[in-house]
Amino acid sequence: MANLGSWKWTALSIVLFAAGPADGQFPDKFTNLKVLPKDISKHELESTMRGFAFALGVRCDHCHVEKKAPEHGLDFASDDKDEKKTARIMLQMVAGINHDYISKVPKETPNVEPIQVQCVTCHHGLTHPRTLTAVLSESLEKNGLEKTLALYGELRKKYYGSGQYDFGETSLNQLTEALLAKKENSQALAIMELNFSANHPDSAWSYHVLAQTHEANGQIDKAIADYRKALELHPDDRWAQQQIDSLSKTK
C-alpha cells in the first residue's frame, strides 16, 4: 500500500484495538508495526488506538495480551491474539476502500476532501457490527418469539440514542416483511405490534406492512382499518384505497 504514512489513521477505524492505555504502560518505542507507519509518533499512535477503542467499544486487552508474570501490563508487540491479526486486515481493507475507491468518487465540492471510511462508519461502538434486523432474525430462529421480544427491549434500553442499532420503524418493518415472505405470520404480527408500541410510526409503509400482516393472519377488518389510517395520514395513497376496495369485496 503506497504512502500509508499520509493516511489519517484516527479515521481508519475498523479494528479491534484497545481503549486509552494509561501513559505509564504505553511504550515510548514501538516494535512489530506491520501496517501502521513505523515512524508514527507516540501521540499519534495513542490517539489512533483510542479512536479504535471508542469506535468498537473495547479496551486494550481486546487485542493485546497480558505480559507474563512477574511483569505487569500489556505486551503490545505480541501477535498472540487473533483479534490483533484481524485488526491489521481491517486496517488494510479500510485503507484500500479509501485509497482505491473513495478517492475516485467525483467531488461534489472542489478542493474539499471526500469523506473517509472510518471504523465508526460500520461499528458504531459495537465490536461485531450487525443490523438490528439481523440480530432479531437470528434470535427468532434460535430462541423463539418471546425471548426475541425481550432481547429487543434489552437492546433498546442499553443502546437507544447511541447509534449502535436503528431502533426506528425501518428495522422492524424489514423484519416483518421477511417473516411474511416465509409465512411466519404470527411472528410477523407480534413484531409489527412491537413496532407500533415502541415507535408509533405514521408512515404509509408501516401501515401497509401492518395491514398486510393483519390480512395474512385473517384479520381483514383490522387490515382495512390500517389502510384507512394510512389514507388519513396520506390522502394521496392510492394503493391503500385500492386495497380497501379489494378487501371489502372479500368480506
- Is 87 in the same domain as 139? no
**Residues 55, 104: one domain?**
yes
pLDDT (average), residues 12-33 = 56
pLDDT tens per residue across span 77-116: 899 999 999 999 999 999 999 999 988 888 777 777 778 8
96 shares its domain with 141: no
pLDDT tier at 22 (50, 70, 90 boundaries)? very low
Query: Residues 153, 246: one domain?
Result: yes
Q: Are residues 144 and 240 in the same domain?
A: yes
- Region of residue 47 (phi > 0: left; psi between -120 and 50: alpha; otherwise: beta): alpha
24 and 68 housed in the same domain: yes
Encode pLDDT of 38-48 as tens digits: 888 988 988 88
Q: How many domains does the chain have?
A: 2
Query: Do 40 and 137 lie in a common domain?
Result: no
Query: Among the ranges 6-20, 77-91, 126-140, which has the highest mean pLDDT value?
Result: 126-140
Last residue of one domain, picked from the residues 75, 90, 122: 122
Looking at the fold, whether 50 and 105 belong to one and the same domain comes out as yes
Measured between its terminal Cα atoms, the distance across the chain in Å is 67
What is the span of the domain harbouring residue 74? 4-122
Q: What's the 3-state SS for the chain?
A: CCCHHHCCCCCCCCCCCCCCCCCCCCCCCCCCCCCCCCCCCHHHHHHHHHHHHHHHCCCHHHCCEECCCCCCCEECCCCCCHHHHHHHHHHHHHHHHHHHHHHHCCCCCCCCCCCCCCHHHHCCCCCCCCCHHHHHHHHHHHHCHHHHHHHHHHHHHHHCCCCCCCCCHHHHHHHHHHHHHCCCHHHHHHHHHHHHHHHCCCCHHHHHHHHHHHHHCCCHHHHHHHHHHHHHHCCCCHHHHHHHHHHHHHC
Q: Is the pLDDT of residue 197 over 60?
A: yes
Q: What is the mean pLDDT of residues 28-42?
A: 87
Q: Is 21 a residue whose pLDDT tops 50?
A: no
- Is the confidence at residue 51, as pLDDT, over 50? yes
Specify whether 81 is located in the same domain as 172: no
Instruction: Share the mean pLDDT of the chain.
Output: 87
Residue 127 belongs to a domain: no
